[in-house]
Chains A and B, each alone.
Chain A
Amino acid sequence: MIKTTMNTLASALVLSAMGLTAASADVLDTIKERGTLVVGVKADYKPYGFLDSSGNIIGIEPDLAKDVADKLGVEVEYVPVVSSNRMQFLEQGKIDLMIATMTDTEDRRKVVQIVDPNYYSSGTNILALKSLGLEEWEDLRGKPVCGIQGAFYNKSTSQNYGAEIVAFTGTAEAYSALKAGNCAAFVYDDSAIVAKTNDPEWSDYEMPLKTIDDAPWGLAVQLGEDEFASLMSDMITEWHKSGRILELETEWGVANTPFAEAMHAKFK
């Protein structure tokens, strides 16, 4: 009895050790074996990744993830992530691929493998009432400004421009607080704000400032997954070349962004 248990344990050990080495060698094999590609996407970032009423995550980034899964010939599974946990999820192997509105920074490149070229771009801007007549970032000094917990520009907005950041856990809370007048403005990614200003519900609001920190977004895989990264790199080039990004922007009701147009022109 004990002997069989030991044997089972030993074989389990060997098997899992093999599994582990295989996994660290190439995540692509794991994905194909599993039959699903697990992608971390946003679930509260309309229209890039949000929820429909039956609980599915939809939007531009889920569509991109679907393209990847189709290319690999597997099913796609979305895991909702937020800014404060997306890199940890990828590091821990909970997701294979992250397409979650993440700004490409040097620091982040040390933690995860961000794939070149960048697939999208956005900067930091604010959403504020037109009637406030804000013109410069300096105008925010001393005013409460809503933000999202875990966003990198919270600290710079408060340190450089003296705004009092009021950070919420999700975008729904931040938008509600802005609408209620708890904050003078909401500091967020300009891509999301542009989409918001087109919404009739938000017609009194504008994006009045010059976008700062304009930085490309990076989709990322685990460090060391070179094969997967090069496949993703080809994938992104293909998206730009075929105008897939522009097409998705139109489909989800976003005005075509200069970045996407420039990339399309570059790779065409």
Chain B
Amino acid sequence: MSYKTDLPVMKPFKPREPEPLLGFRPWHIVVIALLVFFGPSLAFAQAGVPLLTPFAVLLDWVPLLLQGFIFNLAISFLAMALGTALGTLLGLGQISLSRATRGVSWFLTQFFRNAPWLVLLFFAMFLLPFEINLLGVSIPFPDWFKAILGLSLPVMANVSEIVRGAVRSLPSGQWEAAESLAYSRRQTLWLIILPQCVKRMLPPWMNLYSILTMATVLASIVGVSEVMTLTGQALAAEGGRPELLAPFYGFVLLLFFAYCYPIARFTVRLERKFAVIN
């Protein structure tokens, strides 16, 4: 018989969900973002103020910057897809029965998790060839593709950890029950364990996607024409006027906020929905 008390020393530690920003709903943020940035410029334009105010200058560049941002999103989708595919394999490798596979997978995961994203990006950028010759067919490796590869490396390592964590979080009874029903290890993994893991993996996976999206701006440092590179070039073309800096960088901040904040809220909702009641 176990002793029970309603005065525990500590309650279980649950990661806390961030509260909504000032009680706003996600779509409010998008509307406010648009108003803050386009409102003043439209007002200036209508009032006939000469097109030299910082916001008017920004407005001139907005279409180009938006194109750059869409490029960032494209990089994030592809890097996430590639990283998830590789990371799932690596994660399964980490729970493999073979000691060697486990060891190698563990090392790769730790190595790419511990290296800074920016350093990995530099690594992919400068050390990958411009094109590779496979069976005489030359496959070009453009910059954006190298950026995708560079960003997918840390994603891979993190997905690997997510997979391993999710599999290990399932009660061992699941494995034993499957074994008693004569499922092979592969069947158990694919038919019983992984389907249950998806729910547990989804919230951390979406958090990772958010982090990746925000990391795509790092590609500017290695010269990919994404939104930060274009912002820098736009500022150079406008002659480096200091009063332009706040609106331009602020605009980039808002673009990312308008995209990542709804994702973060959605993740919280998913977490709540999938919460495992112990």
Complex A–B touching at CB under 8 A = yes
Whether A169 pairs with B221 at a CB distance below 8 angstroms is yes
Determine how close the nearest CB of chain B comes to the CB of A218; give it in whole angstroms: 21
Q: Does residue B2 face the partner (Cβ distance < 8 Å to A)?
A: no
Say whether chain B's binding surface is mostly helix, strand, loop, or mixed.
helix
Q: Which of A80-134 contact B (CB under 8 A)?
A: 80-82, 84-85, 88-89, 92-94
Is the pair B245, A176 in contact by a Cβ cutoff of 8 Å? yes
Chain B 96-135, CB-CB to A under 8 Å as 1, else 0, gives 0000000000000000000000000000001001110001
When the two chains form their complex, are residues A173 and B130 in contact, meaning their CB atoms are under 8 A apart? no
Taken together as a complex, chains A and B put the C-alpha atoms of A176 and B249 apart, in Å, by 13
229-246 of chain B: CB within 8 A of chain A: 230, 232-237, 239-242, 245
CA distance A45 to B233 in the complex (A): 9
Contacts of B230 in A (CB 8 A): 51, 55
Q: Is B160 an interface residue (CB 8 A)?
A: no
Mark each residue of chain B from 60 to 86: 1 if its CB lies under 8 Å from any CB of chain A, else 0.
110110010000000000000000000
Whether B236 and A175, one on each chain, are in contact in the complex, defined by CB atoms closer than 8 angstroms, is yes
CA distance A55 to B226 in the complex (A): 12
Give B237 Cβ to nearest chain A Cβ, in Å.
5
Q: Considering the chains assembled together, what is the distance between the CA atoms of A179 and B237 in angstroms?
A: 16
Flag whether B138 is at the interface (Cβ < 8 A): yes
A44→B239 contact, CB < 8 A: no
Name the B residues within 8 Å of A53 (CB-CB).
60-61, 64, 234, 237
Contact present for B136 and A176 (CB under 8 Å): no
Q: Which of A44, A45, A81, A94 contacts B232 (CB 8 A)?
A: A44
A60 → chain B, closest Cβ, in Å?
A: 14
Answer yes or no: B88 CB below 8 A from chain A CBs. no
Which A residues are in CB contact (< 8 Å) with B245? Answer: 176
A217 at the interface (CB under 8 A from B): no
Which residue of the partner chain, among A17, A45, A51, A179, contacts B242 with CB atoms under 8 Å? A179
Is A12's CB under 8 angstroms from B137's CB?
Answer: yes
A54 CB–B CB distance under 8 Å:
yes
Interface residues of A in 126-179 (CB under 8 A from B): 169-173, 175-176, 179
Chain A residues with CB under 8 A of B240: 171-172, 175-176, 179, 201
> Does B223 interact with chain A (Cβ within 8 Å)?
yes
A239 at the interface (CB under 8 A from B): no
On chain B, the residues within 8 Å of A12 by CB distance are 135-137
Cα separation A88 to B223 with both chains bound (whole Å)? 13
Q: Is the CB of A13 within 8 A of B237?
A: no
Q: Are A16 and B136 in touch, CB under 8 angstroms?
A: yes
Question: What is the size, in residues, of chain A's interface with B at 8 Å between Cβ atoms?
Answer: 38
Q: Is A241 an interface residue (CB 8 A)?
A: no
Counting CB contacts under 8 A, is B225 at the interface? yes
User: A51-B234, A54-B64, A176-B245 given as contacts; is B138 within 8 A of A16 (CB)?
Assistant: yes
Binary interface profile of A, 40-81, with partner B (CB < 8 Å = 1, else 0)?
A: 000111100011111100000000000000000000000011
Q: How far is the CB of B121 from chain A (nearest CB, A)?
A: 13
CB distance from B87 to the nearest CB of A (A): 29
- Chain B hits for A55, CB < 8 A: 64, 67, 230
Contacts of A170 in B (CB 8 A): 232-233, 236
Give every chain B residue within 8 A of A172 (Cβ-Cβ). 232-233, 235-236, 240
Tell me, in angstroms, the Cα distance from A16 to B136 when the chains sit together.
6
Q: What is the bound-complex CA distance between A54 and B65, given in angstroms?
A: 10
Known: A46-B239, A201-B240, A201-B241. 9 other contacts (CB 8 A): A12-B137, A16-B136, A20-B138, A44-B237, A53-B237, A80-B233, A93-B131, A169-B220, A176-B240
Report A's interface with B, CB cutoff 8 A: 9, 12-13, 16-17, 20, 43-46, 50-55, 80-82, 84-85, 88-89, 92-94, 169-173, 175-176, 179-180, 199, 201-202
Question: Contact residues of B with A, CB < 8 Å?
Answer: 60-61, 63-64, 67, 126, 129-131, 135-138, 220-221, 223, 225, 230, 232-237, 239-242, 245
A-B contact pairs, 9 of them (CB 8 A): A20-B138, A51-B237, A55-B64, A55-B230, A81-B223, A93-B131, A94-B130, A170-B232, A172-B235
